[in-house]
A and B are shown apart, each in its own frame.
Chain A
Amino acid sequence: MEEINNLLHGFAVALTLPNLLYMVVGITLGVLIGVLPGLGGANGVAILLPLTFSMNPTSAIIMLSCIYWGALFGGAITSILFNIPGEPWSVATTFDGYPMAQQGKAAQALTTAFTSSFVGALFAVVLITFLAPLLAKFALKFGPAEFFAVQLLTFCSFVGMSKEPAAKVICAMMLGFALAAVGMDTVTGQLRMTYGFPVLLKGFDFLIAVIGLFGIGEILLTMEEGLAFKGKSAKINLKVVFQTWYQLLSHWKTFLRSVAIGCWMGITPGGATPASFMSYGMARRMSKDPETFGKGNIVGVAAPETAAHAAGTSALLPMLTLGIPGSPTAAVLLGGLLIWGLQPGPMLFIEQKDFVWGLIASMYLGNIVGLIVVLTTVPFWAAILRIPFSVIAPVIIVICAIGAYTVHSSMFDVQMMLVFGVVGYFFKKLKYPLAPMVLALVLGDMAEASFRQSMLLSQGSLAIFWSNPLVGSIAGLAIVLLLWPLIGALRRRTSGPRVATA
């Protein structure tokens, strides 16, 4: 088994003392980010990215991905103790987690959440370990047309699969693409859409957009709610942990189902949030006593957490193998790879073996470290949450401003962060999805380059996208996903009882 050997080699890379230290630091920062409102996986990683520029890429990605795991863990703490989802993907965790905390079972709920997250991530990492090399080998055959088709697939699935109206998904996505095109055209050197402003020469950095959209936007939204944290406190002891683990063993079917949903939603860019809701819904439908859901059923905590973590982890699979991130946070990590001079995609598995397998090994280790860290430090995080919002809010604004400034040491970036923050507030309120906008901003240049190369090859004929079975089937699948809502509506109309005007 070549993968096992590679993986063992990866463990050797990841298991050094400094790297373990980076993991603990990363997890701790990640939980902090996940617990605080306004700071989440995507913008937390974006803010901390500039600090890692001087580190070696392997250590840096280990720390950054651990921040990501930490944020995934941290979201559960606020959901269960405070009924405030720290992250969108932990909204479903509040349904049963908070009632459990109210019944004095906070420790069980937290243990369940952390364990489920761990299980979800573990399965997803196993999937990455064995699937990623295969996918990378397969993707080596890809030409520009195939790459563009895969990107098309990513974006079409956003349109087809999101619950937001298609027009708004397309708006958000195209805005991202347009912003990515601002500045110098990398192919011809021509300036585009700068309208004579020299600050626009460099274009819009997606890190700034992420910090503004998710960070500042979230603060504005939170302010609207006028948050007052009133939470339950919790202490976790070993006895409760083992009792809960024993109890969870009997729900292995829920775990398997949630892992499957999560992995699927993570690889296709559905993301962790829909995965958690879908998994919760499935668990309730399959349950023998669905009426206990929402009143503190342990399965109602396990199902969404497993799926969210599985999705969050498997989102890294297409990021590493194809250079196409499955979630905004994966997109930020991808941006980091580009900054370190690592081109994600199939060649990464050949040219940067140490890096890739070190990262995959660190996913195993990081989640184990994460589980231990969160189980032992819950009271501390609960205490942090009691710091009033009037102190936390300005500190988060300062952190966002520092994060935006450090990207290019540019004041213009800080101003743009604020603009993106206001855009993020309005987009969230009006239900424009932010994820496709961020992905488009990150992938814009790559998508454009592969599209232009394809057009060069075919002398401007779109027929290149169905010129061979491989590219044809990817492009075909993209169209199917794009039209999925229409197909669903048609099927309902033909199979269901006919209504005169429907």
Chain B
Amino acid sequence: MSEESPDDGPVVAERGPELVVAVLLMAFAIGVIIDSVRVGIGWAPDGPRSGYFPFYIGLLLLAASGSIVIRTLLRWKKPSAVFAQRSQLASVISVLVPMIIYVVAISFLGIYVASIFLIGYFMRRHGKYGWVPTIAISIGVPLVFFIVFERWFLVPLAKGPIEQLLGF
């Protein structure tokens, strides 16, 4: 899947992700078609059934993604465009993983506390800041959001055990 390029370090070729995305789209299309057939793609006494419209959507999606799969496979041996450099993908993953942890953490800690950790992590890890600015900003920003949302606009956001402890 990867090939060496003398200038910019190892790269990932486009054909791999291209194929995976198109195959996933095909799988999704098949899911749409199967479920449309289940709810009925025909005609009921009061009009078209629920699957009538999505069925054709699924067929079109299947055809379009199928054509991408076939085209990618036919050109598999030919030189492929570059999807991204390995190092670029590494930095994307270094953001994506904390994001996933953040979203999971929101369920347990609430948005505010989770945000403190997210901003703090980014500033320490990617920004190489000292502890003082890190703590100031990572607590300050969620605090501002808290005032804006809970107090100003009266929009309650997800809260966790720590806010409950403080009596909100």
A residues apposed to B, CB below 8 Å: 50-51, 54, 165, 167-168, 170-171, 174-175, 177-178, 181, 185, 187-188, 190-193, 195, 216, 219-220, 223-226, 388-391, 393-395, 397-398, 401-402, 405-406, 409, 411, 414-415, 417-418, 421-422, 425-427, 429-430, 432, 448, 451-452, 455-456, 460
**Interfacial chain B residues near A393, Cβ < 8 Å:** 95, 122, 126
Given A174-B29, A452-B53, 14 more A-B residue pairs with CB atoms under 8 Å apart are A50-B155, A174-B61, A181-B53, A190-B39, A192-B54, A224-B92, A225-B88, A389-B126, A391-B137, A393-B122, A394-B115, A394-B122, A425-B92, A426-B21
Instruction: Report A-chain residues with C-beta under 8 Å of the C-beta of B63.
Output: 170
Are B157 and A430 touching (Cβ within 8 A)? no
Asked if B135 is at the interface (CB within 8 A of a chain A CB), the reply is no
CB <8 Å contact, B102 and A178: no
Q: Mark B43-82, 1 if CB is under 8 A from A, else 0.
A: 1100111111110011011011101100100000000000
A313 to B106, CA, bound (A): 38
Known: A192-B54, A430-B17, A430-B21. A178 touches B32 (CB 8 A): yes
**Could you mark each residue 14-45 of chain B with 1 if its beta carbon is under 8 Å from any beta carbon of chain A, else 0?**
10011001100100110110011001000110
Minimum CB distance partner of B119 in chain A: A394
A398 and B119 contact, CB distance less than 8 A: yes
Q: Quick check: is B167 within 8 A (CB to CB) of the other chain?
A: no
In the assembled complex, which residues on chain A have CB atoms less than 8 Å from the CB atom of B92? 220, 223-224, 425
Chain A contacts of B118 at CB under 8 A? Answer: 394, 397-398
Contacting residue for B100 out of A185, A418, A452, CB 8 A: A418
CB-defined contacts of A421 to chain B, threshold 8 Å: 99
Chain A residues with CB under 8 Å of B61's CB are 170-171, 174-175, 178
Measured CB to CB, the closest approach of chain A to B50, in angstroms, equals 4
* Bound-complex Cα distance A417 to B129 (A): 29
- Does B9 make an interface contact (CB < 8 A)? no
Q: Which residues of B contact A452 (CB under 8 A)?
A: 47-48, 52-53
Residue picked from B92, B127, B149, most chain A C-beta under 10 Å: B92
Report 30 cross-chain contacts, Cβ distance below 8 Å, ordered by A residue: A167-B67, A170-B63, A170-B64, A171-B65, A174-B60, A178-B57, A178-B58, A181-B57, A190-B39, A192-B54, A193-B35, A195-B31, A223-B95, A224-B88, A224-B89, A226-B88, A390-B125, A390-B129, A391-B122, A393-B122, A394-B115, A402-B145, A402-B149, A406-B155, A411-B106, A415-B103, A421-B99, A429-B83, A430-B83, A452-B48
Interface presence of B130 (CB below 8 A):
no
| In contact, B54 and A409 (Cβ under 8 angstroms) | no
CA A167 to CA B95, docked complex, whole Å: 31
Given A219-B95, A430-B17, A448-B53, also A167-B35 (CB < 8 A): no
Question: Which residues does chain A contribute within 8 Å of B2, judged by CB atoms?
Answer: none
Interface flag for B141 (CB, 8 Å):
yes
Other-chain contact of A390, B25, B83, B100, B123 (Cβ < 8 Å): B123
Known contacts A193-B31, A430-B17, A451-B53: A456-B47 contact under CB 8 Å: yes
Residues on the A chain within 8 Å of B102, using CB: 397, 401
| C-alpha spacing A188/B115, complex, angstroms | 42
Q: Are A171 and B153 in contact (CB under 8 A)?
A: no
Contact flag A220-B68 (CB < 8 Å), given A174-B61, A178-B58, A181-B54? no
Residues on A with C-beta less than 8 A from B58 are: 174, 178
Taking beta carbons and an 8 Å cutoff, which residues of B are in contact with A? 14, 17-18, 21-22, 25, 28-29, 31-32, 35-36, 39, 43-44, 47-54, 57-58, 60-61, 63-65, 67-68, 71, 83-84, 88-89, 91-92, 94-96, 99-100, 102-103, 106-107, 111, 115, 118-119, 121-123, 125-127, 129, 137, 141-142, 145, 149, 153-158
Residues of B within 8 A of A175 (CB): 25, 28, 61
CA distance A225 to B64 in the complex (A): 31
Please, which residues of chain B bring their CB within 8 A of the CB of A409?
Answer: 156, 158
Contact indicator A195/B48 (Cβ below 8 Å): no
A-B pairs, 10 with minimum CB distance: A390-B127, A174-B61, A390-B126, A170-B64, A394-B122, A190-B50, A185-B50, A394-B119, A224-B88, A398-B115
Q: In the complex, are the beta carbons of A398 and B141 less than 8 A apart? A: yes
Instruction: Determine which of B31, B88, B111 lies in contact with A402 in the assembled complex, contact meaning CB atoms within 8 Å.
Output: B111
Q: Is the CB–CB distance between A390 and B155 below 8 Å?
A: no
Cα of A195 to Cα of B129 in the assembled complex, Å = 47
Across the interface, do A460 and B43 meet the contact criterion of CB distance under 8 Å? yes
A192-B36, A193-B32, A219-B95 are contacts. A456–B48 as well, Cβ < 8 Å?
A: yes
Q: Which residues of A contact B48 (CB under 8 A)?
A: 452, 455-456, 460
Distance between Cα atoms of A414 and B107 in the complex (Å):
10
Q: Shortest CB–CB separation between residue A452 and chain B, in angstroms?
A: 5
Known: A178-B61, A390-B122, A430-B18. A192 touches B39 (CB 8 A): yes
Docked-complex contact A216 and B50, CB < 8 angstroms: no
B161: min CB distance to chain A, Å: 15
The one of A185, A224, A427, A455 in contact with B91, judged by C-beta atoms closer than 8 angstroms, is A224
Q: Is the CB of A397 within 8 A of B60?
A: no
Question: Contacts A181-B57, A426-B17; is A401 near B106 (CB within 8 Å)?
Answer: yes
Q: Among A174, A391, A405, A418, which residue has its beta carbon within 8 angstroms of that of B127?
A: A391
Given contacts A391-B137, A414-B103, contact A174 B96 (CB under 8 A): no
Complex Cα–Cα for A398 and B32 (A) = 33
A216 in contact with B155 (CB, 8 Å): no
Give complex CA distance A276, B70 in Å. Answer: 34
CA distance A108 to B94 in the complex (A): 40
When the two chains form the complex, which single residue of B25, B111, B125, B126 contacts A405, counting CB atoms closer than 8 Å?
B111
* Chain B residue with the shortest CB-CB distance to A189: B50
Q: Once the chains bind, are B50 and A188 in contact (CB under 8 Å)? A: yes
- Contact yes or no, B156 A171, CB < 8 A: no
Give the one of A191, A223, A409, A432 with max B CB within 10 A: A223
In the complex, A74→B90 CA distance in Å? 31
Give chain B nearest CB distance to A211 CB in angstroms.
Answer: 13
Docked-complex contact B18 and A178, CB < 8 angstroms: no
A432 to B50, CA, bound (A): 28
